[in-house]
Structure 1
Amino acid sequence: MSAANGEPGRLVVAVLGIGTMGDAMARNIAKAGLGLQVWNRDSTAAEPLAGVGAVVCDTAAEACRGAGVVLTVLANERVVAEVMDKARDGLERDAVWLQCCTVSPEGSGRLAEQAAGFGVAYVEAPLLGTKEPAVAGTLTVLAAASWEGARERVRPVLEAVGERTIWLEGIGRPSGLKLAYNAWVLTTVEGIAEALTLADALGVDPSKVIDAITGSALDSAYVRSKGPRMISDDLDAPSFPLEAAAKDAGLIVEAARGAGLRLGIAEVVRDRLQSAARNGLGRADVAATYRQSRRAGTA
């Protein structure tokens, strides 16, 4: 196991990608007492992590040197593959690549093949949760490993960033489960947005929709958190950026079609989110689909 700061046996984690999720996860890794080396394409996003003891690196390869676990929290499969190609010269021979970006099952298989070409173990680990659970360290991780021994290596990292890990057998299955989960999440968000829009159009206070749902069989924390944010238009500080949701919606539809399915609701939600992103809402929270619903004549 690699060492950091002259402490033999101390696990060092390289975090590549310091966005909303990467920053929160890196802070919890440092809080757990693990060694931390970070890299981000825009270094200004990574620099504040020096305050929690991280070594801020100029290149992805530099961040990986001496790291026993390399954690990727990047935008999409293409970016992940490109960054890891640039990082390969810094990978330790016994490193484990912990890949957390949401990708298709086939995409995860391609990344696993890339890891095998590097000679490192691969753990597929998409995340359930957004900014708030990432900050709190209460994410749920869906995981599968190319090598059984990798589970123990990444255990301290998973315990630092999440409260539950669901292990599955077979690379690709965690990504499949993540897409199924997100299909429900995105359907729920779009459903809330349209219910509130309809109530308003019919002369009903939209907040009464939330009141009616609260305590019913259809109640959920998501309704009670996203609904009021839609009504108050508090949508510009994203927990889950709409552009990321649109990307995931595209993956859901593509995966379904690859399995011989046509998911009518998922395809409509994908189109709505992609339209919202084109209309300048990509950096807002996914709940900003409510703004799209309220635009008369938009699709």
Structure 2
Amino acid sequence: MSEQSSTPAPVASDVTAPSPGSAPRVAVLGTGVMGAGMARNIAAAGLATTVWNRTRERAEPLADVATVASSAAEAVDGADVVVTMLYDLDSVESVVREVAPAMGGDAVWVQQSTVGVEGSDRLVALAEELGLTLVDAPVLGTRGPAEAGALVVLASGPDDARDRIAPVLDAVGSRTMWLGAAGAGSRLKMAANAWVLTVLEGVAESLRLTRELGLDPALFLEAVEGGALDAPYVQLKGGAMLAGDDEPSFALSGALKDADLILAAARGAGLDLTLVPGAREHLARAAEAGLGDRDMSASYRVD
């Protein structure tokens, strides 16, 4: 697990850290399915918010609550907290390298994209190289919880950053778990996402099996409803599968990307997973069938 103890001293800056009790100024880089809801909740908490997205049109709907920046560097100028919620490791790394010179020395970088174990280690090294204070803080949840401010935040990083970013994490999440040095959050995210894929594919398989055995697949959901085998996610995704409601809450292509990150994390730990490889192959077949931009529950449509 990577540490941040060797982080170089921040460069001098005219920007000073917010005084205790004052509201931090926040920049949100990435306003896609997750980032848009998070940014809106940060602004709703009374925090001055600037947003940026590589495709500006995806940031414009936030203009009623936030300042829409023309560039990532413009967005972070003067920010006390910089949130990255971008698609993958490469996009996070390239954007942070671009904006680092514009960030104040006291700013905290809150990295909330899903980048995996190797990716989080690379970003810890990047923060050390650039003299940035990094909190690795991926989230559990999809579009609905992001819009409701009900995500679970898996935070890891220096203790002295906690109070400074607490208003931001409180705005986007229902609770925050602090897990240790930066990188621990991304490690737990891999384990949690492995469970998500297991449940997703387990529900899809049980529904398909019920159907192919000549029964109404809705009977499976009815049979487990309210019992020890049930969970809100079972009914949520199972109901969406049967209704054909695949408006993306979390895109299937993103689930496939995350499956690869989980498998890479397992290989790095010397662990041979049993269920995730099958889930990954099924998601790949669904993506090849043209369903990558639909919700991950669309995997039910592919045998």
**Where in structure 2 are the equivalents of 1:232-271 lying within 5 Å?**
232-235=243-246, 237-271=247-281
Maintained 8 Å contact 1:2/1:67: no
User: Could you report, residue by residue, the CA deviation over 1:188-226 in whole angstroms, capped at 9, with x for unpaired residues?
Assistant: 110111111111111100000000010221111011111
Maintained 8 Å contact 1:241/1:286: yes
Structure 1: distance between partners of 2:284 and 2:191? 19
* Offset of residue 278 of structure 1: 2.0
* Offset of residue 273 of structure 1: 1.0
Structure 1: distance between partners of 2:272 and 2:23? 49
* Offset of residue 9 of structure 1: 4.5
Of the three residues 154, 162, 166, the one matched with 2:173 is 162
* Offset of residue 86 of structure 1: 1.4
Structure 2: distance between partners of 1:2 and 1:169? 23
User: Could you report, residue by residue, the CA deviation over 1:12-60 in whole angstroms, capped at 9, with x for unpaired residues?
Assistant: 10000010111000000100000101110000111121111x1111111
**Where in structure 2 are the equivalents of 1:128-277 lying within 5 Å?**
128-145=140-157, 147-235=158-246, 237-277=247-287
2:8 is aligned to none
* Offset of residue 228 of structure 1: 1.3
Please list every run of 5 or more consecutive structure 2 residues that lacks an aligned counterpart in the other structure: 1-15
* Offset of residue 292 of structure 1: 1.3
1:47 is aligned to 60
* Offset of residue 76 of structure 1: 0.7
Maintained 8 Å contact 2:204/2:300: yes
Please list every run of 5 or more consecutive structure 1 residues that lacks an aligned counterpart in the other structure: 294-299
* Offset of residue 252 of structure 1: 0.7
Q: Does residue 1:290 correspond to 2:300, yes or no? A: yes
The AA in structure 1 aligned to 2:181 is G
Q: Number of aligned pairs?
A: 286
Q: Does residue 1:11 correspond to 2:21, yes or no? A: no
* Offset of residue 170 of structure 1: 2.2
* Offset of residue 275 of structure 1: 2.1
* Offset of residue 82 of structure 1: 0.7
Structure 2: distance between partners of 1:161 and 1:170? 21
Partner secondary structure for residue 149 of structure 1: helix
Of the three residues 68, 71, 93, the one matched with 2:83 is 71
Q: Percent identity?
A: 50
Partner secondary structure for residue 70 of structure 1: strand
The AA in structure 2 aligned to 1:246 is L
Structure 1: distance between partners of 2:31 and 2:255? 18
* Offset of residue 256 of structure 1: 0.6
Structure 1 segments, 4+ long, off by >4 Å, are none
